[in-house]
Structure 1
Amino acid sequence: MDMPRSALGPHVESWHPDAVADTDELTPEPVAAMSALFGEHEAVAMAGDRLPPLWHWLYFLRWPAQQDLGDDGHPRHGPFLPPIPDRQRMFAGGRCQIIEPLRLGERVRRVSSLNTVTVKQGKTGELLFVTVRSEYGHNGRICLVEEQDIVYRSGRSTDRYMPDLHTTMPPRSDEPLQLPLRPDPTLLFRFSALTANAHRIHYDAPYAQMEEGYPGLVVHGPLLVLAMLELVRRNAPDRCVRSLSYRLRRPAFLGEHLLASGRQADGRATMRVGSDRELQHATAEVVFA
């Protein structure tokens, strides 16, 4: 039996973007701003201190010209944006190996390259999985290696994700590490600004509901990941993280009571973000040095 021809595959058969290198200085202002977002009255790191895991997401930001944004707020063009029609983007997960912690105040070089491209059949049609690998270095040494998994679809999904939101019941967990989070519009706005994220699902409710089929504003996937890592930073501040992985499973929405929870054992920590309606919006695992 002949397999059906892929609709997305031909668009990326000859897509082989070159690696991209750039540099940035890990200045203190973004760390102070992210610290405030998580409720800290003082910056969690000063010059020379270790940058908390994945807080390098506050650097190497792209600010395209306004006319270079698509209708959804994402950039129209970029070195690792696949050339598929009516592209829709979703952040799926990633991994990070920390060979040597990045430190505040360092000037860091990043080299990013396309790692893998895979077409898969999902419930609502074909999906394109793109993994981008980035190496971060300082003074000629590779300090950190990260892989991010991004999922793309072509066109709008007809299968709209419209759960019944529970905005009054806080979630419960028997796990010892806990951090409650209830995103409001100011939190989503501040995180979008800190990460140069102009995707309209995070601040434009009519667009999120009418165009992308969500019941409300969507909480940023990276914010859920960083909330899980706050459990490690707050409860094991002296332990070095050697590696981590995370997966984004189900969207969370504005006004929902969320709880990042987890536990440590045998040199590692496992974490999740849950709500009253979903046990796992996101999951993560950390391995300590």
Structure 2
Amino acid sequence: MTDEDSLLPEQTAAVSAMLDLPEPAASSGGPLPPLWHWFYFLQWPGQTELGTDGHPANGHFLPPIPDRQRMFAGGRCQFVEPLRVGERAERTSSLVNAQVKHGRTGELLFVTQRNEIRQQGRTRVIEEQDIVYRSGRSSASHPEVVDPTSAPWPDAEWRLPVQPDPRLLFRFSALTANAHRIHYDQPYAREEEGYPGLVVHGPLLAVLMLELVRREEPRRVSSLAFRFRSPVFALEQVVAYGTRSEAAATLGTATHRDDRHATAEVTFA
């Protein structure tokens, strides 16, 4: 499957506003920050094509698992060259792996999707995304109520505190064309999926970790490996943190409940 996008600067301005940056992080002709390609190549299915959870009911790479729950588990990126804002880009997506496993709540399908993004005939970004589809509700335990007051303070060189609220989740959903109801429909998140509140997008945690790098490290990111381990809920106090080594950095996101909700490793060019 191949998609095209012009990488318009208006989108980077919108993302910058969401992150409270005083000016856009990239302008026309400038380099797109790592992972900001997630705000492009958006898919907008028709309303009747959505399932009850807000995800498309059918489409590319979607498995025929009954009552499936979709989770973005992690991935890897190679940033061969920076993408340039305002230049047309082409993304080719393919399915590289699918593995069925059986868990306590039913079938689990682990899917790896590969995306290659090109500009001016050159491959700029190579990405693999690991998606898990679960049949039935997760058996993982979650807090009964969200605590908005307890703050973590991990022992790390870099720290970026954030308290995601429903407004931030709404804007991130809009900027990524994500209609999954766990991010904006609190009764659905509680009653249908068993969460204590709205769920913070895993990709938002990854963007915050890379935003920390963008603010603190002048070297260009050349590779990234990340994993989403446990959910964060709206209004919890979150700290994205990182520690730099000679040619790499170790990253994470923490709440008072867990210091490894999401983790990542980056290397520098």
TM-score normalized with structure 1 length: 0.90
**Residue 181 of structure 1 corresponds to which residue in structure 2?**
162
* Count of residue pairs brought into register by the alignment: 268
Alignment equivalent of 1:114, drawn from 76, 90, 95: 95
State yes or no: 1:55 paired with 2:36.
yes
2-side partners of 1:119 and 1:222: how far apart?
A: 24
Question: Do 1:73 and 1:198's aligned partners in 2 also have CA atoms closer than 8 Å?
Answer: yes
Which amino acid letter does the alignment assign opposite residue 239 of structure 1? R
The Cα shift of 1:160 comes to 5.4
Per-residue CA distance 1:166-190 (angstroms, 9 max, x = gap) = 3211101121100001011110111
State yes or no: 1:249 paired with 2:239.
no
Does 120-129 or 272-281 show the bigger shift? 120-129
2-side partners of 1:254 and 1:22: how far apart?
A: 32
Alignment equivalent of 1:273, drawn from 229, 253, 264: 253
1-side partners of 2:21 and 2:252: how far apart?
A: 22
**Residue 26 of structure 1 corresponds to which residue in structure 2?**
7
Structure showing greater Rg: 1
Q: Provide the secondary structure at the position in 1 that maps to 2:130.
A: strand
Per-residue CA distance 1:77-127 (angstroms, 9 max, x = gap) = 111111222221001000001111101111001110001001223353331
Q: Provide the secondary structure at the position in 2 that maps to 1:117.
A: strand
Which amino acid letter does the alignment assign opposite residue 198 of structure 1? A
Per-residue CA distance 1:131-165 (angstroms, 9 max, x = gap) = 000110012111110000000012334x2532253
Gaps of 5+ in 2: none
**Residue 287 of structure 1 corresponds to which residue in structure 2?**
267
State yes or no: 1:93 paired with 2:97.
no
Which amino acid letter does the alignment assign opposite residue 227 of structure 2? R
Question: Do 1:160 and 1:214's aligned partners in 2 also have CA atoms closer than 8 Å?
Answer: no
Which amino acid letter does the alignment assign opposite residue 233 of structure 2? F
Which amino acid letter does the alignment assign opposite residue 266 of structure 1? E
**Residue 69 of structure 1 corresponds to which residue in structure 2?**
50
**Residue 39 of structure 1 corresponds to which residue in structure 2?**
20
2-side partners of 1:279 and 1:118: how far apart?
A: 29
1-side partners of 2:54 and 2:236: how far apart?
A: 24
Q: Provide the secondary structure at the position in 2 that maps to 1:71.
A: coil
1-side partners of 2:104 and 2:259: how far apart?
A: 21
Q: Provide the secondary structure at the position in 2 that maps to 1:73.
A: coil
Question: Do 2:165 and 2:235's aligned partners in 1 also have CA atoms closer than 8 Å?
Answer: yes
**Residue 12 of structure 1 corresponds to which residue in structure 2?**
none
2-side partners of 1:242 and 1:45: how far apart?
A: 18
2-side partners of 1:253 and 1:58: how far apart?
A: 22
Alignment equivalent of 1:171, drawn from 142, 152, 169: 152
Q: Provide the secondary structure at the position in 2 that maps to 1:272.
A: strand
Q: Provide the secondary structure at the position in 2 that maps to 1:88.
A: strand
Which amino acid letter does the alignment assign opposite residue 145 of structure 1? I
Q: Provide the secondary structure at the position in 1 that maps to 2:15.
A: helix
2-side partners of 1:280 and 1:121: how far apart?
A: 26
1-side partners of 2:174 and 2:193: how far apart?
A: 21
State yes or no: 1:220 paired with 2:201.
yes
Question: Do 2:165 and 2:234's aligned partners in 1 also have CA atoms closer than 8 Å?
Answer: yes
Which amino acid letter does the alignment assign opposite residue 267 of structure 1? A
Which amino acid letter does the alignment assign opposite residue 226 of structure 1? V
Which amino acid letter does the alignment assign opposite residue 250 of structure 1? S
1-side partners of 2:93 and 2:78: how far apart?
A: 15
**Residue 178 of structure 2 corresponds to which residue in structure 1?**
197
Question: Do 2:116 and 2:123's aligned partners in 1 also have CA atoms closer than 8 Å?
Answer: yes
Question: Do 1:160 and 1:213's aligned partners in 2 also have CA atoms closer than 8 Å?
Answer: no
Q: Give the percent of matched residue pairs that are identical in Structure 1 and Structure 2.
A: 60
Q: Provide the secondary structure at the position in 2 that maps to 1:133.
A: strand
Gaps of 5+ in 1: 1-19
